[in-house]
Amino acid sequence: MTAAARSTAHSIVEASPRVKTVAGAVVVLYALIAILPLLWIAATAFKSQSDAIAYPPKVIFQPTLEGYVNLFTVRTRQTPDFIARLPPAMTWYDKLVRKHDMVIAGPSKVVPRFINSLVIGFGSTFLAVLLGTLAAYAFSRFRIPLADDLLFFILSTRMMPPVAVAIPIYLMYRQLNLTDTWTGMILLYTAVNVSLAVWLLKGFIDEIPREYEEAALVDGYTRLQALRKVVLPQAVTGIAATAIFCLIFSWNEYAFAVLLTSGDAQTMPPFIPFIIGEGGQDWPAVAAATTLFVIPIVLFTIVLRRHLLRGITFGAVRK
């Protein structure tokens, strides 16, 4: 092919370089516009409080770690005399806080809230994946009576608005003393996640040919041993992908958390929008919390890019 021909030639499947450039430009433009709000928030985490609410809004500003310090501490305002009489500030964050006539009074609640998110998120994910794997294996390998209906029933449990589901759960937990407990939230999130887990894992397990298990059974293994030695190793990718999607749901969930937790078991999503500074919302601290909270999910997304599609459509779409 001549150079000229090569530059315009294309099969319909492989686009010409010109088309590719235009497509690329449009997508890059969209991506840049879409990421601007996130960049603004990431930047706000490094602004001082007055910079964050300056009008007109500041694009160039003096960065400071106040937002992060405010996120992790509780401070009280003191008179300048009181501060002058204190022993000199030992650490960089003490110095930072004293510049504003304030003194650190203790750690804020963000770390316990983050731990709650971790425990409830990972706990419910673990349980949902465990129960889901077992149930999905059964649906895939055995003939369960009413399987179709059961599977649709499992799916339909996700159609109710969470606020609606919360009404009887609230009453139930009140009686059982499960409000504001790890157990209560883990049970609830597991129940919501297990439907996703069963659908996803069934799809993954369906793809593993039965011949391997049959061979193992013929060789004298029990069904359970066959499951452990043959099926599970091949389903590990699917299990990992399922786990990530369950985790994303539990991690970001707000409605149940705000209605059913209060102090001990409160997770990050109901905590972040209500971080208060002096008189108003502490935007740098909120931005700092948002940034820190999204990092684990972003990492997982990048790692499991290839399984993203399957997960968010309940396994209905495979790549």
Partner 1 sequence: MSAIIHPDAPVDRIGAQTTFRVARRVHGLSDRNIAWLFVTPTIALLLAINIFPLVWMIRLSFTSLNLSMSYLPLRFVGLDNYADILSDEDLWVRLQTTAQFVISTVVLQVIIGFGLALLINRQFRSHSFWTTIILLPMMLSPAVVGNFWTLLLQPQIGPFNYVISLLTGLPPSSFSMTGEVALAPWTIVLVDTWMWAPYVMLICLAGLRSIPDYIYEAAEVDRASAWRQFWSITLPMVTPFLMLAVLFRAIENFKMFDMVNLLTSGGPGSTTELVSITLKRLAFEKWRTGYSSALAIILFVTVFGAANIYVKALNRVKQR
Partner 2 sequence: MRKSASGRWSKWAGGALALFAGVALTAVAVQPAAAQSKQLTLCWAAWDPANALVELGKDFTKESGIEMKYEFVPWTSYADRFLNELNSHGKLCDLIIGDSQWIGGAAENHWYVKLNDFFAREHITMADFVPATVLGYSEWPKNTPNYWALPAMADAVGWTYRKDWFARPEIQAEFKKKYARDLAPPKTYEELKQIAEFFQGREIDGKKVYGAYIFTERGSEGITMGVTNVLYNYGFEYDNPKKPYQMQGFVNSPEAVKGLEFYKALYKCCTAPGMTNAYMQEGLDAFKSGQVAMQMNWFAFFPGLYKDPNVGGDKIGFFVNPAGPQGHFTQLGGQGISVVATSDHQDDALRYIKWFAQPKVQQKWWEIGGYSALKAVVDAPGFPKSAPFAPQFLESMGIVKDFWAEPSYAQLLLDMQKRVHDYVVADKGTAQQALDQLVKDWTKVFKEQGKAVASE
Taking the least distance from each CB to partner 2, the nearer of 38 and 105 is: 105
Shortest reach from residue 150's CB to partner 2, in Å: 28
* Residue 89 interacting partner from partner 1, partner 2, none (CB closer than 5 to 8 Å by kind): none
H-only helix segments in the chain: 3-8, 17-44, 49-52, 66-72, 80-85, 92-98, 110-141, 147-156, 162-176, 182-206, 210-218, 223-226, 232-252, 255-260, 268-271, 283-303, 308-312
Shortest reach from residue 248's CB to partner 1, in Å: 7
Q: What is the DSSP string of 82-128?
A: HHHHSPPP-SHHHHHHHTTTEEEEEE-SHHHHHHHHHHHHHHHHHHH
Residue carrying the six token digits 């209500």 = 274
Shortest reach from residue 302's CB to partner 1, in Å: 6
Shortest reach from residue 318's CB to partner 1, in Å: 7
Taking the least distance from each CB to partner 2, the nearer of 89 and 119 is: 119
Residues making up the chain, counted from first to last: 319
**SS3 of residue 204 by DSSP:** helix
281 beta partners = 276
The CB density around residue 67, as the number of other CB atoms within 10 Å, is: 25
Shortest reach from residue 262's CB to partner 1, in Å: 13
The dihedrals phi and psi of 107, each to the nearest 5 degrees, come to -75, 150
* Binding-site ranges for partner 2 (CB under 8 A): 53, 55, 76-77, 105, 115, 118-119, 122-123, 125-126, 170, 173-174, 179-180, 233-234, 236-237, 239-240, 243, 259, 262-264, 274, 276, 278-281, 303
* Residue 164 interacting partner from partner 1, partner 2, none (CB closer than 5 to 8 Å by kind): partner 1
Tokens of 21: 């450039």
Tokens of 247: 């985790």
Shortest reach from residue 65's CB to partner 1, in Å: 19
Taking the least distance from each CB to partner 1, the nearer of 214 and 264 is: 214
Taking the least distance from each CB to partner 1, the nearer of 19 and 105 is: 19
The dihedrals phi and psi of 48, each to the nearest 5 degrees, come to -80, 165
Taking the least distance from each CB to partner 2, the nearer of 56 and 161 is: 56
Taking the least distance from each CB to partner 2, the nearer of 168 and 280 is: 280
* Residue 122 interacting partner from partner 2, partner 1, none (CB closer than 5 to 8 Å by kind): partner 2
Shortest reach from residue 190's CB to partner 2, in Å: 14
Taking the least distance from each CB to partner 1, the nearer of 97 and 205 is: 205
Q: What is the DSSP string of 264-304?
A: TT--HHHHGGG-B-SSSB-HHHHHHHHHHHHHHHHHHHHHT
* Residue 184 interacting partner from partner 2, partner 1, none (CB closer than 5 to 8 Å by kind): none
* Residue 280 interacting partner from partner 2, partner 1, none (CB closer than 5 to 8 Å by kind): partner 2
